Every structure is written in C-alpha cells, then in structure tokens.
C-alpha cells in the first residue's frame, strides 16, 4: 500500500536527537586560483523520515579542529583520557572528546578570561581582568581563541574539570538547504563557504565550515537536523519570483529553481548572482545555464566584482534593470534576498527603494511604504546571515 503525505511516519530525529547523515558527495565549487573555497555537499537522509521544503535550513553539530584540541591538551598537560562531567545531567566524556565535540573553543568572552584568571598566578592576566583594564580586555578577546589564552598566560594550575566549567557548549551551525526534496528524494544539499582568516599571526578556521571543507569525507556522517523556516518560502507556482543570492546566498535559490523545474511552475523566475570572478567563482554555472535553456529560470544576471576595474555587485545589476524589475514587482512578483547581512543585504534593500522611487515616480517615503507593504504581503523575504 502506498503511503500518502498525511500518513507519513514522523521522524524521530530533531535538534535534540540529530540524524547521522552520510556524506554522498563533497566537492569544491571554486576553480583553481580562486581566493574562495565553497563546498557543495550532498547528504543522505535515507532511513531518517526527515524531509523539508525549499527555504528550510539544515543544522549541523560540528566538531573542533583536532590540531587545536591537541595544542590545548599539550599546554595544559592533561591526560587526554581524563573523564570530565560535561552537563548538568552529569554525562561524562574524556577531556579530549569533550574539547573535540562538546565545547566551543574558537570564541573567547570576557567572562571566560576573567574566570580563567582564577587558575593562574600570571600577573599579566590578573592585570588584564582588573576593573581599570576593561578596554584592554575587550581588545584582547577580539580575534583570539582559547589556545591564545592558555598560550599567553601560563603556568596554569587547574583541573580539566574546573576548566571545562568555564566553556560554552559548541552550538549547531545553520545552512540554507540548496536542494529540492522533490527533485532529490532522500537527499539534502548544501553550499558552504569555508571561513578562513588570519588573526594575531595565526590562521583561524571557522569550526563547521572548515570541518566540512577539510574533514568531512564521502562515506562519513554528520549529525544534522532540519530547521523549518516559515519566513522564507516559495509562493504558489504561478507567481513570479526575483531572487538575489550572491556567493553562498545562491543556496536556497538552487532549491527554489529545482522545485519549480520539477513542479513545472508557470511563474517566471529571475536570479541575480554575484561573486569575485566569473572564471573561478560562478557557482552552479552549468546547472543555471541549463535551467535558462529549459525555462525554469527566465532571467539570469551576474555581477563579478573582480572581473573589471570598477567593482560591480548585484545591486548594480538590479539598477541597470530597474525598469523591468519594477514592472515585475508591479505585476505581483515576490522578491527574495539571501547571503551576507553586513553589506550586501543593506545595499540590495536601499537599491530596491531607489528603484521603486525612480520607476514608480514616488517620493522616498512612498517607496519605503511600497516595500513595507510588500513585506506585509510576504512578497519581500530575506534570509541573511
Ligand atoms: C539562517 C542561516 C543560514 C545560513 N546559510 C549558510 C549557507 O547556506 N552557507 C554558508 O556558508 N553559511 C551559511 N550560514 C552561516 C553559517 O551558519 C556559519 O555561521 C558559517 O559557516 C561559519 O561557521 P563556522 O563554524 O565555520 O565558523 P565559526 O567558528 O562560527 O566562526 C565564525 C566567526 O569567526 C569570526 N570571523 C569570521 N571571519 C572573520 C574575519 N575575516 N576576521 C575576523 N573574524 C572573523 C566571526 O566572529 C564569525 O562569527 C547561515 C547562517 C544562518 C543563520
């Protein structure tokens, strides 16, 4: 007998009981010579009864860099097998396992540094946490991690148990799902940008993104859960959609387009994509061109900031197409933005108001009210981070 959606067995997996999803594929989407590394990861959800809709996110519980854990253990001179209690329920792990999988090591807080000062006679640290040094303490924690702290202010006189009591629990990281479940039953795809940067003379690695780039091999598993996102989803199939997703912001739109291709949606779809260089950073280029050819994508505008002397970003492409973009909005199109919160989302937001003002012959206030109204109708949706 066939099971219908309403008869679907509920999954036993959730944030509190993550599913070990097998890695089917893990490839770098950037070409040789790119300054970026963006991983396309395919995971199997088979046997989990988990499913999702376009717009949802996947949570991953990461583990810390083994080299970082080893360096901390060596400085603190703890036996890696020493058992420590890791939570209020009294669960225990070896200190090595606890540092690898249970505690956040890459972010310092004032509180951690202040409490750590109790465990050393180091005068410099005592001075740093004194009331008069508030500014210096703030400056110290910026861009430093636990390894810096234990390296900079020894010798330490603390048990592994007392030390882990200072630490915060390692949190799950969220990723916009980059696939449609209808197009890829039993699978979930992600687009993850590896976070790497230099700080205080050492290369720093984002916990989850670099684990996915360096230590998540095909055949291994990652603990995952589905994070439903009711504020970011596709409208009925006959509605037009405009999607602005530079860099990893492309992820949910790959899901949207795949879904619309499978359901043969009647509405038009317009994608703005951008990154540094077209030769190395045009993520999912062939797929997107394929969708242009078969009609799932109506329009594709790209902006590659380092291809020309003058940096061109997605908001510039929007402005170049202002008349058509406003015509789409006027006929009821939904407008979506995903990706960088700090700069891109603000620039796109302001450009959208500029376009409405210009093409709608409105005052600034009227243009803002127009966009607010779109937001109330759920026709302006953002998934930014
Ligand atoms: C709803 C949502 C959806 C998301 N979707 C995606 C997605 O599809 N793809 C994707 O790649 N990411 C996505 N993210 C971001 C993702 O969740 C992680 O935040 C990201 O991968 C970094 O996690 P990490 O564990 O690698 O880095 P962490 O170990 O958490 O380190 C990141 C931290 O490092 C610091 N940092 C980073 N760069 C620098 C720098 N240059 N200089 C100094 N400090 C710096 C900042 O404090 C930053 O918060 C999404 C986030 C949200 C909330």
pLDDT tens-digit series, residues 61-95? 999 999 999 999 999 999 999 999 999 999 999 99
Do 201 and 290 have their domain in common? Answer: no
Residue 2 resides in a domain: no
Of 206, 223, 225, best ligand 1 pocket probe by most atoms within 8 Å of the beta carbon: 206
Greatest CA separation for the chain? 73
Please name the residue ranges forming H helices in 282-343.
285-294, 314-320, 322-330
Q: Do 187 and 50 touch, CB atoms closer than 8 A? A: no
Q: Which ligand 1 atom minimizes the distance to the CA of 197? A: 41
Residue 232 resides in a domain: no
Do 215 and 245 have their domain in common? Answer: no
Residue 233 resides in a domain: no
Per the structure, the count of domains in the chain is 3
Residue 35 resides in a domain: yes
Do 294 and 379 have their domain in common? Answer: yes
CA of 195 to the centre of ligand 1 (A): 7
Per-residue pLDDT in tens (0 to 9) along the chain, 385 residues = 444 555 678 999 999 999 999 999 999 999 999 999 999 999 999 999 999 999 999 999 999 999 999 999 999 999 999 999 999 999 999 999 999 999 999 989 999 999 999 999 999 999 999 989 999 999 999 999 999 999 999 999 999 999 999 999 999 999 999 999 999 999 999 999 999 999 999 999 999 999 999 999 999 999 999 999 999 999 999 999 999 999 999 999 999 999 999 999 999 999 999 999 999 999 999 999 999 999 999 999 999 999 999 999 999 999 999 999 999 999 999 999 999 999 999 999 999 999 999 999 999 999 999 999 999 999 999 999 9
Tell me whether residue 80 is exposed, middle or buried, using C-beta atoms within 10 angstroms of its C-beta: 0 to 12, 13 to 18, 19 or more: middle
CA of 146 to the centre of ligand 1 (A): 18
Do 112 and 248 have their domain in common? Answer: no
pTM summary value: 0.96
Residue 1 resides in a domain: no
38 lines ligand 1 (CB under 6 A): no
Do 128 and 258 have their domain in common? Answer: no
179 lines ligand 1 (CB under 6 A): no
193 lines ligand 1 (CB under 6 A): yes
Distance CA 323, CA 199 (A): 45
Nearest CA to ligand 1 atom 31: 206
Do 119 and 202 have their domain in common? Answer: no
Do 195 and 120 have their domain in common? Answer: no
Do 255 and 379 have their domain in common? Answer: yes
Do 47 and 194 have their domain in common? Answer: yes
Phi-psi region of 141 (alpha: psi -120 to 50; beta: other; left: phi over 0): alpha
Q: Which ligand 1 atom minimizes the distance to the CA of 174? A: 17
- Give the residue numbers spanning the domain of 196: 8-62+172-227
Q: Which ligand 1 atom minimizes the distance to the CA of 209? A: 26
Tell me whether residue 231 is exposed, middle or buried, using C-beta atoms within 10 angstroms of its C-beta: 0 to 12, 13 to 18, 19 or more: exposed
Residue 194 resides in a domain: yes
């Amino acid at each position: 007998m066939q099971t219908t959606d309403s008869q679907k067995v509920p999954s036993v997996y959730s944030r509190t009981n993550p599913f070990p999803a097998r890695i089917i594929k893990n490839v770098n989407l950037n070409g040789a010579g790119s300054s970026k590394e963006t991983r396309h990861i395919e995971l199997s959800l088979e046997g989990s009864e988990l499913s999702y809709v376009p717009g949802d996110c996947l949570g991953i519980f990461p583990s810390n860099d083994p080299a970082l854990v080893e360096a901390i253990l060596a400085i603190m001179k703890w036996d890696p097998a020493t058992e420590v209690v890791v939570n209020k329920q009294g669960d225990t792990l070896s200190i090595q396992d606890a540092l690898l999988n249970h505690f956040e090591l890459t972010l310092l807080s004032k509180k951690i540094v202040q409490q750590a000062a109790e465990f050393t006679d180091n005068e410099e640290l005592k001075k740093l946490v004194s009331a008069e040094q508030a500014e210096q303490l703030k400056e110290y924690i910026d861009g430093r991690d636990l390894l810096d702290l234990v390296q900079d202010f020894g010798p330490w006189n603390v048990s592994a148990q007392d030390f882990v009591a200072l630490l915060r629990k390692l949190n799950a990281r969220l990723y916009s799902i980059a696939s449609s479940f209808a197009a890829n039953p039993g699978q979930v795809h992600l687009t993850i940008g590896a976070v790497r940067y230099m700080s205080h003379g050492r290369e720093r690695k984002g916990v989850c993104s670099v684990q996915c780039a360096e230590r998540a091999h095909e055949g291994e598993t990652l603990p995952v859960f589905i994070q439903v996102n009711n504020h970011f989803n596709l409208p009925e199939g006959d509605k037009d959609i405009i999607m602005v997703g530079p860099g990893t912001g492309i992820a949910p739109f790959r899901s949207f387009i795949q879904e619309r291709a499978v359901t043969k949606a009647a509405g038009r779809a317009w994608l703005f994509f951008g990154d540094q260089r077209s030769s190395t950073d045009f993520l999912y280029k062939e797929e997107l061109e394929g969708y242009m050819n078969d009609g799932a994508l109506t329009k594709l505008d790209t902006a590659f900031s380092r291809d020309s002397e003058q940096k061109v970003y997605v908001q510039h492409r929007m402005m170049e197409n202002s008349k058509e973009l406003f015509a789409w909005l006027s006929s009821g199109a939904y407008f979506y933005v995903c990706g960088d919160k700090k700069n891109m989302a603000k620039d796109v937001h302001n450009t959208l108001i500029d376009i409405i003002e210009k093409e709608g012959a409105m005052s600034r206030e009227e243009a803002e009210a127009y966009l607010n109204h779109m937001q109330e109708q759920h026709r302006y949706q953002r998934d930014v981070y």
